[in-house]
Chain A
């Protein structure tokens, strides 16, 4: 196999990388995998944290995903590699969840130990940036008090919308609207 031919991803023997062409049957080079991790790794892990609701599990599955990339990533096209990574990551996440569900671990253990998925500080630190946290804190203060309250109760106190609505003695729809408006503002700023 001529790994240096045009249209192939970089391979173990240091061949060139180009976009949009079928790739070689040889595995991707460690440099290519590292570059792809640098570009997509954080987003992938954040996505997995949302799917698995565990930053710890997200790290594991992200690692598995990049192992798959090393094994079979040469079958993917570079221009769709992000989609490929998300697809593989999601399937691996589902497999991971099924496995964890079978042994009855994931959330029950985390909850039993008082570890919510967003409180695993070490893993969270790798996904959020300190300056963004500081800026978001300031943005939160700018929200109307009733929206601030719902965001705090839902995200920090981990209460369901139904519980928050019951505590405030307002319809569930009101709480959902407040949360949605708050999230829209914050997401617009964050993006």
Chain B
């Protein structure tokens, strides 16, 4: 490549990169209007700049120093989200376990108490019934042994312990 051609290429490169003064640019553009060689030089410079820009853009997107940071950030973000999720899960488990520990045994105790109460009543009635035994009333003894108000009270208590509304069935 001749020196003159080198100079033209370099001028075109400076023109494309916007490195010319206003006067230099005006002079060069006056030349572009009529000089195909100058136009070709600008085309060549422009092509080189565009290609290099694309190449450098790709390099910067794939180079380790630039990608390392976002990856690290993403990793730490993932860890943070994982920790938050695990904490939330543990909290929910604790709440569920606590509810289970409080409500289920309580209902069981209540149920046991109720059963004992009913059994005691029945045994009490049985003793009374033995004292004054009437064979005609024997068939009704079991159903009539526990009064309806007690059954209602027991079912209300159980419902309250379970946290569910329950209909009170009247006999």
Q: Which residues of A contact B (CB under 8 A)?
A: 43-44, 46-47, 49-51, 53, 55, 82-83, 86-87, 90-91, 94, 118-119, 124, 127-129, 132-134, 136-137, 140, 151-152, 154-156, 160-161, 179-180, 183-184, 186-188, 190-191
Contacts and interface: CB of A to CB of B under 8 A. Distances in A.
B87 interface: no
B13 A94 contact: no
A187 B59 contact: no
A152 B43 contact: no
Contact of B19 (A118, A128, A136, A160): A160
Interface of B: 1, 6, 9-10, 12-13, 15-19, 29, 32-34, 36, 39, 42-60
Given A87-B34, A137-B59, A188-B1, A151 B52 contact: yes
B52 A140 contact: yes
Contacts of A151: 52, 56
Contacts, number: 109
Main secondary structure of the interface of A (DSSP, over half): helix
A101 B128 CA distance: 113
Contacts of A191: 44
B43 A154 contact: no
A156 B9 contact: no
Contact of B55 (A49, A82, A90, A136): A136
B48 A91 contact: no
Nearest to A183: B13
- Interface core residue of B49, B52, B58 (most chain A CB under 10 Å): B52
A163 to B, nearest CB: 11
Contacts of A156: 52-53, 56-57, 60
